[in-house]
Amino acid sequence: MRKKTTVLVIGANGQLGSVLTKSLQEKYGCDRVIASDLQPKEGFEGVFEVIDATDMDRIQEVINKYDITQIYHLAAILSAKGETMPLITWDINMKTLFNVLEVSRTNNIEKVFFPSSIAVFGEGAPLEHTPNNAYLDPATVYGISKAAGENWAQYYFLKYGLDVRSIRYPGVIGYQSIPSGGTTDYAVDIFHKAVLNEEFECFLEKETTLPMIFIDDVIRATIEIMEAPLEDISVRTSYNLAGTSFSPLELVQEIRKLYPDFKVKYNPDYRQDIASKWPDSIDDSVALKDWGWKPKFDIELMTTTMIQKLKEKYKIDIKNSKALML
Positions annotated as catalytic residues are: 142
Per-position b or e across 242-258, b if 16+ CB within 10 A of its CB: bbbbbbbbebbebbeee
Q: Does 78 bind ligand SER (CB under 6 A)?
A: yes
Q: Does 130 bind ligand SER (CB under 6 A)?
A: no
Q: Does 240 bind ligand SER (CB under 6 A)?
A: no
CA dihedral 281, 286, 232, 212 (to 10 degrees): 10
CB of 154 to ligand SER, least distance (A): 19
What is d(CA 102, CA 193) in angstroms, rounded to the nearest whole number?
Answer: 43
Beta carbons of 56 and 100 less than 8 angstroms apart: no
CB of 47 to ligand SER, least distance (A): 28
Q: Does 117 bind ligand SER (CB under 6 A)?
A: yes
38: nearest Cα among 48, 54, 51: 51
Closest residue to ligand SER, based on beta-carbon distance: 182
> For 263, left (φ over 0), alpha (ψ -120 to 50), or beta?
beta
Q: Does 169 bind ligand SER (CB under 6 A)?
A: yes
**Which one of the spans 52-60, 115-123, 198-206, 231-239 is the region binding ligand SER (CB under 6 A)?**
115-123
What is d(CA 312, CA 77) in angstroms, rounded to the nearest whole number?
Answer: 30
**Which one of the spans 55-63, 178-186, 282-290, 308-316 is the region binding ligand SER (CB under 6 A)?**
178-186
Q: Does 79 bind ligand SER (CB under 6 A)?
A: yes
What is d(CA 27, CA 29) in angstroms, rounded to the nearest whole number?
Answer: 6
**Which one of the spans 103-111, 112-120, 154-162, 230-238 is the region binding ligand SER (CB under 6 A)?**
112-120
Q: How many residues bind ligand SER (CB under 6 A)?
A: 11
**Which one of the spans 38-46, 51-59, 113-121, 228-236 is the region binding ligand SER (CB under 6 A)?**
113-121
Q: Report the amino acid identity of residue 124.
A: G
Q: Nearer Cβ to ligand SER, position 48 or 121? A: 121
Q: Nearer Cβ to ligand SER, position 183 or 245? A: 183
Q: Nearer Cβ to ligand SER, position 119 or 287? A: 119
Q: Where are the beta strands (DSSP E) in the chain?
A: 7-10, 33-37, 47-50, 70-73, 111-113, 116-117, 164-165, 167-169, 171-173, 200-202, 210-214, 239-240, 244-246, 264-266
Q: Does 183 bind ligand SER (CB under 6 A)?
A: yes
Q: Nearer Cβ to ligand SER, position 109 or 275? A: 275
Report the interface residues with ligand SER, using CB under 6 A: 78-79, 117-119, 142, 169, 171, 182-184
